[in-house]
Structure 1
Amino acid sequence: MTYEQALNYLASLGKFGISLGLKRVENLLDRMGHPERSYKTIHITGTNGKGSATAMLTAVLTASGLKTGMYTSPHLIDYTERMAVDGRPVPPGAFAEAIDHTRRFVEEMIRAGGEQPTEFEVLTAAAFFYFAKAGVDYAVIEVGLGGLLDSTNVVVPELAMITNVTLEHTDRCGATIREIAVHKAGIIKAGVPVVTAAQGEALDVIRQACIDTASSLYVLDEDFYAEFAGMTVTSQDITVKTVYGDCGLFRINLLGHHQVKNAAIVVMAAMVLSRGEPRITVNAIRDGLAGAVWPGRFEIIPGNPVIVIDGAHNPDGAAALRRTLDDVFPGRPVVFLLGILRDKDVDGIIAALIREEDTVVVVPPLSERAAEPEEIAPKIKARQVEVSRSIAAGLEKAGELAHGNSVLCIAGSLYLAGEARKIVKKIK
């Protein structure tokens, strides 16, 4: 299988859509000899911040001298981003090999009368195989959707992390915070420690799950604390204290007050892991956080105009983006290139992100689920609202509208962020 053939094979699985449940992936991994059991794992879920936390914890483990795999979704530009070792995406040839290896067992399943695995299930199994073949010590695994019935929930991790819980995927995980929290808390396994920044009803659900499974729980503002200590346009400083003592000052490249919480969760998680892994030290945590990057999350591309790319795709993410824009670029006009999927909370995203003084160009994200720009534009109450039928044309129009010291912000969907980032990087 070549890389292109691997992509075509995955595309052929798209017709099976999203189908939550563990039966198919368990069957597949059983036939593959359970590669996910050959290394230690950390499992991460949450409404927002799970990708950032995954990237930061991976960087910390790598800085500790541990060979570390990272599994994330979706990708911004290329499928190879979804599985990485020590921060380096899987080479295309190795990606194709992993998909081809997994395909053989999928075909064996089908011949035996088993149900066809979905694209995400095949990707997950292929990533587990790739990490096993690479000989990683740890793999940091980001949940795809929810937790309880997500394909990644076959792992029994050393530690589980739940960044936060707000409304999302209400069509699949429930219409209330409590119902969604049940899905997130579904990654909690017996005796496995849990670190979270969840609050309110969601925390109640997580706390009860930890009681039921005899799992230690570490909660932000109860067992560990973080304080913002300053920000520039390239980094911010935070201080963290944990039940294990004062960890001191840390510098992170990911901007925004929401990243203070995410980084604090990572510090606490690393401190818990350090009890059984002496290579994880406070200095290693500091080095890892200082080097961690996560493209498409308040990613600043200098120039005229300065460009900010952020995949904010729900109201809480949009609110965090707006606050960070105000903190990093106070008083500067903002021109948005906005694209949202139709199954997202369009009204909530717009209300959290857009102000009357803003300028907005609405485009369709690169997805079959894209909301039509002509349907979104009338909902936006801003100084100027334009519509473009393509991301490239929208970028050109937004650039023309970004006068003086304006900031051009690309937001609303990771599918938009990835394609726009590819175009911008070529231009720059």
Structure 2
Amino acid sequence: MSTSRPGNGHDPDHDSDLDDESPLSDPLTALGLNADAGEGGHDEAEDEEDGPVREADLAVIEAGSRTLRAGGPVPQEDDVPGRPADPELDKALREVETELAGRWPETKLEPSLDRMTALMDILGEPQRAYPSIHITGTNGKTSTARMIEQLLLAFELRTGRYTSPHVQSVTERISLDGRPIAPETFIETYRDLLPYVEMVDGSQPHRMSFFEVMTGMAYAAFADAPVDVAVVEVGMGGSWDATNVIDASVAVVTPIALDHTDRLGSTPGEIAVEKSGIVKKDATVLLAQQPVEAAQVLLKRAVDLGATVAREGMEFGVVHREVAVGGQLLTLRGLGGEYEQVFLPLHGEHQAHNAVVALAAVEAFFGIGSEHDRTLAIDTVRTAFAGVTSPGRLEVVRRSPTVVLDAAHNPAGARAAAGSLADAFGFTHLVGVVGPSGDKDVRGLLEAFEPVFTEVVVTQNSTPRAMDVDELAALAVEIFGDERVQVEPRLDDAIEAAVTLAEDQGEFSGAGVLITGSVITVGEARLLLGRK
């Protein structure tokens, strides 16, 4: 094991039905749906890490980035914002972030909807001003949410999307019409809500948490826009998650695996009990492929509430996928029929499964089922999927050598990412840069990546939750062996070391770098590599 320790590490400062006035009142005719229904047949690497709000010293990261950009970032449209260019606006946003950071972080929970219910009541129930699609699961929530959003936008609906955590800027968590909320709007929404939040703080045993305030801001921003539909991802679990004050007509459950076992349960079935809490009476429930015991729990909840269930592999599924330049080409069977020649510019088989779940969710939202013998307009569906992005999910950010980011932070996510690398990239020598949080199953994460990493550089991000690099190194040596492990406490040094190891293999060696282990690590790496 080789070790490099600079004098200073990172700065340590730093988880309803449509109403009669809706334009969706007659969706099948209004949206150009066709009657050419076909017949057909059939985990995401990136469940969102429920991390606290980050106040990373971006100056440290920005300074380190100057030495890492020589290879050139891959040019592409990027919808992940950096800091505001206006110094006064940036200062105001930082002040809001500091105030939010003074509340309970996402890692500290008091399972209750009392505070959220009280806030929504004071605000006049803004979350009921629009229909919602609610998404839970362990892996794949954010990618699925972004695909659902793109489909809805393609059908000319105004959308609000709420996801967590953020990759680079807290404003990413609340999106309007497919773009992160403007910093000015974020600040204004927070300041408008603060008096009401303080009223709730004073009336409850505990103050509202960071995530609860953010959720309230999202629901208020969506009502103020106003949006035609909200796409909402849970933060953790489902039953008592702060988002679960909505009454969504469509509930989506992405693959369930073991994560947050100290809070949600130690088996897929126990975790499914919590996640099934987003299923509401008479809703439509879309189930991605699930462990048997999780599926049983989810189906029972649906039956008890009279909900309609559609299951991947039964009522909808991936019929065919093939790797294509820049992504994959899919044939998907939705609830109403088959969709051929759908290009998805994301890598990995798990993303194909996310895509068909998203497609079925939007079909369900528009009232399409197998009995209708109709599909969404195929050209619109193709256009929507072709425009999907998912930053930090098998995302190529540099060439020569190829550097890929993936926010896998649990064993299931790592296995999905590792399995996707071979068909998407064909690396013959892959160097891993791993910087996980200490409260995750880090051994399981490393074991999932061991078969595909030739070498691994262990490091840490700038947050207090980062796993101690010496503990991480000791664990990595157990799994990879001493000769395959290098230690670089600073993330910028770790990336540079990994790039050097890949370059040493030669220009045409098939060598590459994967940076992974945490959404926070990936977000900081994006900044270091010039992605803003």
State if a TM-score over 0.5 links the two structures: yes
* C-alpha contact 1:101 1:126 (8 A) present in aligned 2: no
Which residue number corresponds to residue 406 of structure 1? 511
Query: CA shift at 1:19, angstroms?
Result: 2.7
Query: Do residues 131 (structure 1) and 222 (structure 2) align?
Result: yes
Distance verdict in 2 for CA 1:356–1:53, change over 3 Å: closer
* C-alpha contact 1:77 1:418 (8 A) present in aligned 2: yes
Q: 2:233 aligns with which of 142, 167, 177?
A: 142
Query: CA shift at 1:115, angstroms?
Result: 3.3
Query: Do residues 289 (structure 1) and 385 (structure 2) align?
Result: yes
- Residue 486 of structure 2 aligns to a residue whose secondary structure is strand
Which residue number corresponds to residue 350 of structure 1? 446
**d(CA) in 2 for partners of 1:43 and 1:216?**
15
Q: 1:89 aligns with which of 170, 180, 183?
A: 180
* C-alpha contact 2:131 2:228 (8 A) present in aligned 1: yes
Q: How does 1:196-211 map to 2 (within 5 A)?
A: 196-197=287-288, 198-211=290-303
* C-alpha contact 2:427 2:511 (8 A) present in aligned 1: no
- Residue 84 of structure 1 aligns to a residue whose secondary structure is strand
Query: Do residues 420 (structure 1) and 525 (structure 2) align?
Result: yes
Distance verdict in 2 for CA 1:196–1:103, change over 3 Å: same
Q: How does 1:175-324 map to 2 (within 5 A)?
A: 175-197=266-288, 198-275=290-367, 281-324=377-420
- Residue 116 of structure 1 aligns to a residue whose secondary structure is coil
**d(CA) in 2 for partners of 1:247 and 1:424?**
37
**d(CA) in 2 for partners of 1:283 and 1:260?**
18
* C-alpha contact 2:131 2:229 (8 A) present in aligned 1: yes
Query: CA shift at 1:164, angstroms?
Result: 1.1
Which amino acid counterpart does residue 306 of structure 2 have in structure 1? A
**d(CA) in 2 for partners of 1:235 and 1:193?**
30
**d(CA) in 1 for partners of 2:133 and 2:452?**
43
**d(CA) in 2 for partners of 1:425 and 1:186?**
40
**d(CA) in 2 for partners of 1:208 and 1:246?**
29
**d(CA) in 1 for partners of 2:323 and 2:147?**
18
Cα deviation 1:137-172 (Å, max 9, x = unaligned): 001000100111100011111200001111111010
Query: Do residues 160 (structure 1) and 265 (structure 2) align?
Result: no
- Residue 70 of structure 1 aligns to a residue whose secondary structure is strand
**d(CA) in 2 for partners of 1:15 and 1:269?**
31
TM-score by length of 1: 0.95
- Residue 266 of structure 2 aligns to a residue whose secondary structure is coil
**d(CA) in 1 for partners of 2:315 and 2:321?**
20
Which residue number corresponds to residue 111 of structure 2? 20
Query: CA shift at 1:233, angstroms?
Result: 4.5
* C-alpha contact 1:227 1:260 (8 A) present in aligned 2: no
- Residue 402 of structure 1 aligns to a residue whose secondary structure is helix
Pick the structure with greater CA Rg: 2
* C-alpha contact 1:43 1:161 (8 A) present in aligned 2: yes
Query: Do residues 71 (structure 1) and 167 (structure 2) align?
Result: no
**d(CA) in 2 for partners of 1:173 and 1:194?**
21
Stretches of structure 2 lacking an aligned partner (at least 5 in a row): 1-88
**d(CA) in 2 for partners of 1:252 and 1:302?**
20
Q: 2:485 aligns with which of 381, 385, 389?
A: 385
Runs of 4+ more than 6 Å apart:
276-279
* C-alpha contact 1:273 1:280 (8 A) present in aligned 2: no
Q: How does 1:43-54 map to 2 (within 5 A)?
A: 43-54=134-145
Which residue number corresponds to residue 396 of structure 1? 496
Deviates more, 1:6-15 or 1:115-124: 6-15
Query: CA shift at 1:128, angstroms?
Result: 0.7
* C-alpha contact 1:158 1:192 (8 A) present in aligned 2: yes
**d(CA) in 2 for partners of 1:173 and 1:421?**
31
Q: 2:462 aligns with which of 353, 366, 383?
A: 366
**d(CA) in 1 for partners of 2:453 and 2:126?**
53
Which amino acid counterpart does residue 10 of structure 1 have in structure 2? L
Distance verdict in 2 for CA 1:244–1:379, change over 3 Å: same
Deviates more, 1:166-175 or 1:112-121: 112-121
* C-alpha contact 2:163 2:234 (8 A) present in aligned 1: yes
**d(CA) in 1 for partners of 2:207 and 2:375?**
42
Query: CA shift at 1:15, angstroms?
Result: 6.2
Stretches of structure 1 lacking an aligned partner (at least 5 in a row): none
Deviates more, 1:237-246 or 1:301-310: 237-246
- Residue 239 of structure 1 aligns to a residue whose secondary structure is strand
**d(CA) in 2 for partners of 1:199 and 1:218?**
16
Which residue number corresponds to residue 9 of structure 1? 99
**d(CA) in 2 for partners of 1:397 and 1:321?**
22
Which amino acid counterpart does residue 321 of structure 2 have in structure 1? A
Which residue number corresponds to residue 34 of structure 1? 125
Deviates more, 1:223-232 or 1:78-87: 223-232
**d(CA) in 1 for partners of 2:199 and 2:474?**
51
**d(CA) in 1 for partners of 2:241 and 2:340?**
36
TM-score by length of 2: 0.77
Cα deviation 1:92-131 (Å, max 9, x = unaligned): 1100111112211011223445631000000000011111
RMSD over aligned CA atoms reads: 2.0
* C-alpha contact 2:287 2:311 (8 A) present in aligned 1: yes
Which amino acid counterpart does residue 491 of structure 2 have in structure 1? I
- Residue 18 of structure 1 aligns to a residue whose secondary structure is coil
**d(CA) in 2 for partners of 1:96 and 1:366?**
25
**d(CA) in 2 for partners of 1:349 and 1:67?**
38
- Residue 139 of structure 2 aligns to a residue whose secondary structure is coil
**d(CA) in 1 for partners of 2:375 and 2:462?**
42
**d(CA) in 1 for partners of 2:211 and 2:333?**
38
**d(CA) in 1 for partners of 2:453 and 2:183?**
45
**d(CA) in 2 for partners of 1:357 and 1:37?**
48
Which amino acid counterpart does residue 414 of structure 1 have in structure 2? V
- Residue 139 of structure 1 aligns to a residue whose secondary structure is strand
